[in-house]
C-alpha cells in the first residue's frame, strides 16, 4: 500500500492499493475511489464490538475496501479542518485516541474502545470515559482538528493540558485530572475547574482546535430558536 497526504487547512489522503490489498473505515468515510474496488460493510468483530466502537465515537458498521484490479485509488477526507496523521504501528503497538479520531486503517489494524479507569479522568476529562484504541501491525490514519504538536515525555515528566486539546497518547502515559487551584483562577481564568495531567514516559499529540471550542464559538452566531 502506498499513500500520499495532500493539502493544508483541509488535508486529504490518497491511498493506492494493489490487487488484494484492503483498507477499512467507518461508514461514509470514503470521499472518492477509482478502479475495481469491492466494498464490504460489516460490524467487524460482531455486534458487541460495533457497539463499543459507537461509544468511542465511530459507527456501528465499518466498510472494508478491497482492490480487485491491478491498482486502485481511494481518497479519504476529514470531517473538520485539521491534520491527518499516518501512524505506522508495529505488531502489538497501540495508541489511545480521542473520540472520533479514527479515519481509516490497513486491514490488520485493530480498532476498539478504550475505557478510562480513573473516575476523575472519566468525569472531567472532556471526552468522557470512552476513548479509542488502535493496535498494529499496520498503518492507521488519524484525523485531528487544527494543528498538531507532538511531545515526548520522559519518565515522571508532567504536562498540564486543557482536556479538549489532547488528541492522542501512548498507553505508557498516565492520564489524570487535577482541579484548578484558587477561586479567582476558577472563576476568571477561563480554563474551567479541571486540567488534565499527562505523566511520562511516552509520546503525546496535542491539537490546537478542540471541536467543542469551535462549536461554542459558532453557536454565538447561530439564530435563536425562540
Q: What is the pLDDT of residue 77?
A: 92
Angle CA(38)–CA(72)–CA(68) in degrees, nearest 5? 40
Give the cell for residue 130.
Answer: 470512552
Distance CA 117, CA 124 (A): 13
Distance CA 48, CA 87 (A): 26
Low-confidence ranges of the chain (pLDDT < 70): 45-60, 116-129, 179-193, 224-226
Domains within the chain, CATH numbers bracketed: 2-214 (3.60.160.10)
pTM of the model: 0.82
CA-based nearest residue to 176, from 128, 122, 130: 122
| pLDDT tens-digit map of 201-211 | 999 999 998 87
| pLDDT tens-digit map of 119-141 | 444 444 444 457 889 999 999 99
Amino acid at each position: 500500500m502506498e499513500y500520499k497526504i495532500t493539502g493544508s487547512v483541509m488535508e486529504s489522503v490518497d491511498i493506492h492499493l494493489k490487487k488484494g490489498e484492503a483498507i477499512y473505515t467507518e461508514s461514509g468515510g470514503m470521499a472518492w475511489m477509482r478502479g475495481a474496488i469491492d466494498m464490504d460493510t460489516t460490524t467487524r468483530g460482531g455486534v458487541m464490538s460495533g457497539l463499543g466502537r459507537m461509544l468511542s465515537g465511530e459507527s456501528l458498521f465499518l466498510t472494508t475496501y478491497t482492490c480487485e484490479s491491478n491498482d486502485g485509488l481511494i481518497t479519504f477526507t476529514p470531517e473538520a479542518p485539521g491534520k491527518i496523521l499516518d501512524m505506522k504501528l508495529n505488531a502489538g503497538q497501540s495508541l489511545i485516541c480521542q473520540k472520533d479520531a479514527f479515519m481509516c486503517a490497513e486491514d490488520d489494524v485493530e480498532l476498539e474502545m478504550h475505557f478510562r479507569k480513573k473516575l476523575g479522568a472519566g468525569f472531567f476529562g472532556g471526552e468522557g470515559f470512552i476513548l479509542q484504541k488502535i493496535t498494529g501491525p499496520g498503518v492507521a490514519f488519524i484525523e485531528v482538528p487544527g494543528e498538531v504538536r507532538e511531545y515526548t515525555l520522559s519518565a515522571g515528566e508532567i504536562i498540564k493540558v486543557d482536556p479538549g486539546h489532547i488528541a492522542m497518547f501512548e498507553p505508557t502515559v498516565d492520564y489524570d485530572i487535577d482541579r484548578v487551584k484558587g477561586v479567582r483562577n476558577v472563576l476568571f481564568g477561563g480554563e474551567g475547574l479541571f486540567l488534565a495531567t499527562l505523566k511520562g514516559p511516552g509520546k503525546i499529540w496535542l491539537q490546537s482546535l478542540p471541536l467543542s471550542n469551535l462549536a461554542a464559538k459558532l453557536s454565538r452566531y447561530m439564530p435563536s430558536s425562540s
